[in-house]
């Protein structure tokens, strides 16, 4: 699904401490054709500066409403409607904004029946990623592995928000099981104990994962 090589670009954070706060409501209708055309151009353009310009246009799309603005990073969460179906999506995306990502919820009307329905676009500088969101309250490693596989069916990048006090080793077991023989997953963005970990598949599979997650 992803055309870009952008997950390989060097980003400052591999582990970031995060916080949380909340915002307001609104409802909008969105020009799907124009929105999809702009998104497509963000992926098609190779030049970094031009891509940054298109991404800025996407963030300023007039049909989107800002449902959260991070005071600590200046980043926003944008959506066609602030009435999100799942409360955990709001909490997770606000945490992502706090650590420096603009987040746009993918409008429902942009998907055909045959298309994979990921949840959000994550934006930073010239980077735009299609991402599926998963929140897990279970302490069972098998549940974590299942959510990873479900998310990777929708997008090669997933945000996995751990909402339990699962022990570190059990979590790592779930992560490794989730990427095992999984040809779809490229990276897990793990939110665990108020930190964000960026975990490419090859890192999860390596011994290095035991040094990263604390």
pLDDT in tens, 51-77: 999 999 999 999 899 999 999 999 999
115 DSSP assignment: S
pLDDT tens, residue by residue, 110-152: 887 777 789 999 999 999 999 999 999 999 999 999 999 999 9
Return the minimum-mean-pLDDT range out of 29-38, 51-60, 93-102, 205-214.
Answer: 29-38
Whole-number percent of the chain with pLDDT over 70? 86
DSSP lists the bridge partners of residue 197 as 15, 190
**Domains of the chain (ranges plus CATH)?**
24-212 (3.40.1350.120)
Determine contact, residues 118/132, Cβ cutoff 8 Å.
Answer: yes
Determine contact, residues 191/20, Cβ cutoff 8 Å.
Answer: no
Residue where the block lists tokens 């969460």: 77
pTM attached to this predicted model? 0.83
Find, among 205, 169, 171, the residue nearest to 185 by Cα.
205
């Amino acid at each position: 699904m992803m055309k870009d090589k952008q997950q390989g670009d060097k980003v400052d954070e591999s582990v970031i401490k995060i916080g949380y706060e909340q915002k307001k409501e609104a409802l909008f209708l969105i020009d799907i054709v124009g929105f999809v055309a702009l998104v497509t151009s963000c992926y098609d353009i190779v030049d970094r500066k031009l891509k940054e310009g298109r991404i800025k246009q996407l963030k300023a799309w007039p049909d989107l409403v800002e449902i959260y603005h991070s005071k600590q990073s200046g980043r926003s969460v944008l959506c066609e409607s602030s009435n999100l179906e799942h409360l955990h999506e709001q909490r997770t995306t606000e945490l992502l904004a706090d650590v420096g990502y603009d987040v746009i919820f993918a409008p429902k009307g942009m998907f055909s029946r045959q298309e994979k329905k990921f949840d959000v676009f994550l934006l930073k500088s010239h980077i735009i990623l299609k991402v599926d969101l998963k929140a897990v309250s279970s302490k069972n490693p098998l549940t974590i592995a299942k959510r990873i596989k479900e998310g990777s069916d929708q997008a090669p990048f997933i945000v996995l928000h751990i909402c339990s006090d699962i022990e570190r080793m059990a979590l790592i077991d779930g992560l490794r099981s989730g990427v095992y023989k999984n040809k779809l997953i490229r990276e897990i963005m793990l939110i665990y104990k108020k930190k964000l970990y960026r975990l490419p598949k090859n890192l999860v599979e390596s011994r290095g994962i035991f040094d990263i997650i604390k």
